[in-house]
Chain A
């Protein structure tokens, strides 16, 4: 499990988060101004010719002060060297996979967000990239799937929606022993760096749907890619500015603002989720609860389909909607919503049934959430 190790010189996550983007403004503004400008004046032609895109600004697709501030913060929170902020979580997936060439192979966990599988399928058909899946159980079985063409091993932990935890350190060690060039990429959307820092466990790249916990207010779409190795970061930078799916300044500013409260939000998400899990475990309508012990995501099976319908149609505090990680509680039925693009057989094998619900526990009072579930299940 993550020790969230840090060097002596490194600030703790709560401090990095709270002070995100501070000390950046030349006028001394504590909160960074929002730079909407799409282009930046060169003081002289000489400066334009010797332009350094990593320090200065020329065109907003390459960088803006707000995006750079949030990228720096994401990189330090995840313990990486370089961060990229993108227009959505899928744009982050797109960038993370852009290093694949025709004939390359990717091996992924079999229990991922449905949109990942949709994009894998697109790459297979349009770019001739091969995909294989691993069930997340025996690492020896993963290693047996590795070939000389394998370029990426893709994990999401805990898995979505069945909440299985994968030992990132064990996977990264085994994969890199086979071939250090294979990139281990971890989707850290569910735990965030507060509970898990994959780069410190041996992963090469971390991605996020920043729409979820990182932004945390269900009011912006964003994605993040954080890289450990600078050479890999350079490769990503070229693809990033070429495909142009950048996060705009306003949303970069909002995301930075959100990161300041990440630690306190995550702590409360966990507290509330633990209280709800205690209730669900003893509720007569509940068959089984899937919860790894921390974070705000809880999946559970109800005994009857009629109970599923009653719960979803009658919740009043909790909202029946997709997405997760926000301050308000959301409930979804993955079979019909987030995982509708996953083949039926695979859904069956993974246990994504019509009785499985996924609850994103928000920051409301836990008692109100429990009362809401109770009244919805009892609705006649």
Chain B
């Protein structure tokens, strides 16, 4: 059982000789009986270990080619857990286009405890090298960024990191282990907002941290257990269940994205499309050497004669909501929503124009999605 699609469906072998259940039960018990005093037991308390969560954690580790996985209560809890291994006085380098919540965690939370971060354009290894300080401990980035889908080479960053004995930490949310396995490209820690593709149904908030290093695994476990941001057994089961359809969902999402792009590209209402999964797009060569695809998110810059607000409000199937990676299609207007905190000048500098729309494409029939985009474009011109 070595092929990825098989591992998605089956996960680590279960030996439930009591009932023969094919799937791991949802263990809600918070505490576990000791057979006798001094006995060594696998599970004693739900925060420290839970069989349902453990199943998911083992599966996450296997899918990412890691040795240990950790399931947390949200993507931010996963990022918090991974960064909590550092100490006051440490420094990390972070991608300058990473998720805003991660910046908030660094600037509002960790900074007070003396952990400093320098944002750099991680597409440029020389810029990373220039930012390294004597106390630098790690490089943290997203290989495909939000919403402009800029591509950073995981291998190139990991090469720099190895040269300077730094850790490479990759937020792999946008690609998932189906498309990309950063640990095989030199990364040390992989993070997911499992709320997105891994769970895939907009019904769970969850995060994951995976490593292939025994020592890092111990440090991460200490944090997970001591800080207690663990994923509940019900949600562990829902993520496990979501993983079983990860590849069929993402195949359909990517096919839908390509059909949408083929339809939109010739239209005068569309100025520019951002999607590194198609040849000719920036980052395509790098991404295709490290990943099997670019996922289900694309961004579209509408022409100046299209009213972006009207367009977004007119969509029927694409729901105006945050998040991504799910079975249903979603739309977001970065300049007014996710990146609203930036000034207009800062927005333009970052490439967030007023006409930029982010689509998170689901698994609906592509003809219905295209018809929805067409009717909204017609209303917005």
Do these two chains interact?
A: yes
Query: Contact between B322 and A45 (Cβ–Cβ < 8 Å)?
Result: no
Is B267 in contact with chain A by the CB < 8 A criterion? no
Q: If A128-B113, A313-B36 touch, does A91 touch B76 (CB 8 Å cutoff)?
A: no
Is A363 in contact with chain B by the CB < 8 A criterion? no
Query: Contact between B34 and A321 (Cβ–Cβ < 8 Å)?
Result: yes
Of B47, B86, B320, which one neighbours A88 at CB under 8 angstroms? B47
Is A29 in contact with chain B by the CB < 8 A criterion? no
CB distance from A52 to the nearest CB of B (A): 14
Of B31, B73, B75, B101, which one neighbours A248 at CB under 8 angstroms? B73
CB distance from A184 to the nearest CB of B (A): 21
B33: chain A residues at CB < 8 Å are: 319-321
Query: Contact between A238 and B234 (Cβ–Cβ < 8 Å)?
Result: no
B46: chain A residues at CB < 8 Å are: 211, 221
CA distance A129 to B109 in the complex (A): 14
CB distance from A379 to the nearest CB of B (A): 12
Interface centre among B72, B313, B322 (most CB of A within 10 A): B322
Residue of B nearest to A218 (CB): B30
Query: Contact between B29 and A91 (Cβ–Cβ < 8 Å)?
Result: no
Q: If A220-B30, A251-B234 touch, does A245 touch B227 (CB 8 Å cutoff)?
A: yes
B32: chain A residues at CB < 8 Å are: 321
Of B29, B77, B79, B238, which one neighbours A87 at CB under 8 angstroms? B77
Q: If A61-B74, A102-B114 touch, does A322 touch B230 (CB 8 Å cutoff)?
A: no
Is B218 in contact with chain A by the CB < 8 A criterion? no
Is B228 in contact with chain A by the CB < 8 A criterion? yes
Is A246 in contact with chain B by the CB < 8 A criterion? yes
A242: chain B residues at CB < 8 Å are: 76, 80, 101, 104-105, 108-109
Quick one: which of B229-253 are within 8 Å of A by CB? 229-232, 234-235, 238
Is B45 in contact with chain A by the CB < 8 A criterion? yes
CA distance A67 to B199 in the complex (A): 20
Query: Contact between A58 and B321 (Cβ–Cβ < 8 Å)?
Result: yes
B105: chain A residues at CB < 8 Å are: 242-243
Query: Contact between B76 and A241 (Cβ–Cβ < 8 Å)?
Result: yes
CA distance A247 to B32 in the complex (A): 22
Residue of B nearest to A115 (CB): B226
Segment at the interface with B among A119-127, A158-166, A367-375: A119-127
CA distance A125 to B46 in the complex (A): 26
Is A133 in contact with chain B by the CB < 8 A criterion? no
Query: Contact between A333 and B31 (Cβ–Cβ < 8 Å)?
Result: no
Query: Contact between B29 and A219 (Cβ–Cβ < 8 Å)?
Result: yes
CA distance A340 to B66 in the complex (A): 31
Interface centre among B44, B75, B323, B336 (most CB of A within 10 A): B323
Query: Contact between B235 and A248 (Cβ–Cβ < 8 Å)?
Result: yes
Q: If A242-B105, A330-B31 touch, does A58 touch B322 (CB 8 Å cutoff)?
A: yes
Is B127 in contact with chain A by the CB < 8 A criterion? no
Segment at the interface with A among B182-190, B201-209, B275-283: B201-209
- The 0/1 profile, CB within 8 Å of A marked 1, for residues 169-213 of chain B is 000000000000000000000000001000100111101000000
CB distance from A309 to the nearest CB of B (A): 5
CA distance A122 to B227 in the complex (A): 10
Interface size on A, residues (CB 8 A): 69
Is A90 in contact with chain B by the CB < 8 A criterion? yes
Query: Contact between A42 and B320 (Cβ–Cβ < 8 Å)?
Result: yes
Is A118 in contact with chain B by the CB < 8 A criterion? yes
Of A98, A115, A125, which one neighbours B109 at CB under 8 angstroms? A98
Query: Contact between B113 and A127 (Cβ–Cβ < 8 Å)?
Result: yes
CA distance A90 to B30 in the complex (A): 14
| Number of A-B pairs, beta carbon distance below 8 Å | 214
Query: Contact between B320 and A48 (Cβ–Cβ < 8 Å)?
Result: yes
Is B309 in contact with chain A by the CB < 8 A criterion? yes
Q: If A58-B322, A243-B80, A245-B73 touch, does A322 touch B44 (CB 8 Å cutoff)?
A: yes
Of A37, A61, A128, which one neighbours B88 at CB under 8 angstroms? A128
B9: chain A residues at CB < 8 Å are: none
Q: If A36-B203, A45-B320 touch, does A246 touch B227 (CB 8 Å cutoff)?
A: no
A125: chain B residues at CB < 8 Å are: 87
CA distance A223 to B73 in the complex (A): 13
Is B132 in contact with chain A by the CB < 8 A criterion? no
Residue of B nearest to A332 (CB): B34
CA distance A126 to B227 in the complex (A): 13
CB distance from A51 to the nearest CB of B (A): 9
B29: chain A residues at CB < 8 Å are: 218-219
Of B80, B88, B230, B319, which one neighbours A221 at CB under 8 angstroms? B230
B75: chain A residues at CB < 8 Å are: 61, 244
A223: chain B residues at CB < 8 Å are: 228
Is B163 in contact with chain A by the CB < 8 A criterion? no
CB distance from B338 to the nearest CB of A (A): 10
Of B44, B84, B112, which one neighbours A126 at CB under 8 angstroms? B84
Is B28 in contact with chain A by the CB < 8 A criterion? yes
Of B37, B204, B227, B321, which one neighbours A320 at CB under 8 angstroms? B37
Is B144 in contact with chain A by the CB < 8 A criterion? no
- The 0/1 profile, CB within 8 Å of B marked 1, for residues 307-321 of chain A is 011001100000111
CB distance from A100 to the nearest CB of B (A): 8
B199: chain A residues at CB < 8 Å are: 38
Q: If A45-B313, A59-B322, A102-B113 touch, does A211 touch B227 (CB 8 Å cutoff)?
A: no
B238: chain A residues at CB < 8 Å are: 36
- The 0/1 profile, CB within 8 Å of B marked 1, for residues 42-55 of chain A is 11110011000000
Residue of A nearest to B84 (CB): A126
Q: If A59-B322, A102-B88 touch, does A250 touch B234 (CB 8 Å cutoff)?
A: yes
CA distance A102 to B89 in the complex (A): 11
Of A42, A119, A219, A221, which one neighbours B47 at CB under 8 angstroms? A221
A-B contact pairs, 5 of them (CB 8 A): A38-B199, A45-B313, A89-B228, A220-B232, A243-B76
Q: Known pairs A218-B31, A219-B30. 14 more at Cβ < 8 A?
A: A36-B203, A38-B326, A40-B321, A58-B322, A119-B226, A127-B113, A211-B30, A221-B232, A243-B76, A243-B80, A243-B105, A245-B77, A322-B31, A323-B45
Residue positions of A touching B, CB distance < 8 A: 36-45, 48-49, 58-61, 86-94, 98, 101-102, 115, 118-119, 122, 125-129, 211, 218-221, 223, 238-239, 241-248, 250-251, 308-309, 312-313, 319-323, 326, 330, 333, 336-337
Closest 10 CB pairs of A and B: A244-B76, A90-B228, A245-B229, A88-B228, A244-B74, A127-B113, A323-B31, A36-B203, A244-B77, A219-B28
